[in-house]
């Protein structure tokens, strides 16, 4: 899947339109400035991994899971994810990892990637499964407004 067409989209912005259409326009323009630069300095895969780390650091595991799915779809490898998760243990601490990250959808998606790749699944097949299990239908991942 091309980096410019991630498997998950910023659906949380839709809810802003219900609050204030001008706010939604401003936030959408800001999102475009950050994520759709013509010549970004960082590779898209790296940008997703930075966003994943920021999400974890801020306690937003829903966001971090979404960034993991996008990073993998953009070509991040299992060894790169292994390093990211080792860094998360180091930076967040073992107790936080054990009680918050380990049982999260983020770690579940990571484990799914590792298992399916070990079983010989293609990247496209893994992305399809990630979208099915950790996409908008998953209440621990979706950012669509409810109701």
Which pLDDT belongs to residue 4? 57
52 exposed, middle or buried (CB, 10 Å; 0-12, 13-18, 19+)?
Answer: buried
For 5-49, the pLDDT digits (tens) are 777 777 778 788 888 999 999 999 999 999 988 999 999 999 999
Percent of the chain topping pLDDT 90: 74
More confident: 69 or 4: 69
- What's the start-to-end Cα distance of the chain, in Å? 31
Which pTM does this prediction carry?
0.85
For 86-136, the pLDDT digits (tens) are 999 999 999 999 999 999 999 999 999 999 999 999 999 999 999 999 988
């Amino acid at each position: 899947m091309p980096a410019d067409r991630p498997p998950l989209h910023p659906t949380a912005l839709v809810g802003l339109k219900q609050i204030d259409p001008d706010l939604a326009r401003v936030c959408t323009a800001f999102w475009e400035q950050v994520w759709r630069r013509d010549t970004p300095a960082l590779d898209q895969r790296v940008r997703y991994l930075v966003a994943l780390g920021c999400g974890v650091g801020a306690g937003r595991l829903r966001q971090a899971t979404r960034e993991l799915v996008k990073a993998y779809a953009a070509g991040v490898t299992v060894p790169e994810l292994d390093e990211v998760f080792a860094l998360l243990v180091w930076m967040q601490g073992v107790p936080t990892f054990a009680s918050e990250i380990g049982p999260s959808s983020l770690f579940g998606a990571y484990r799914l990637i590792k298992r399916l790749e070990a079983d010989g699944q293609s990247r496209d097949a893994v992305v399809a499964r990630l979208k099915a299990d950790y996409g908008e239908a998953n209440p621990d991942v979706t950012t669509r407004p409810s109701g």
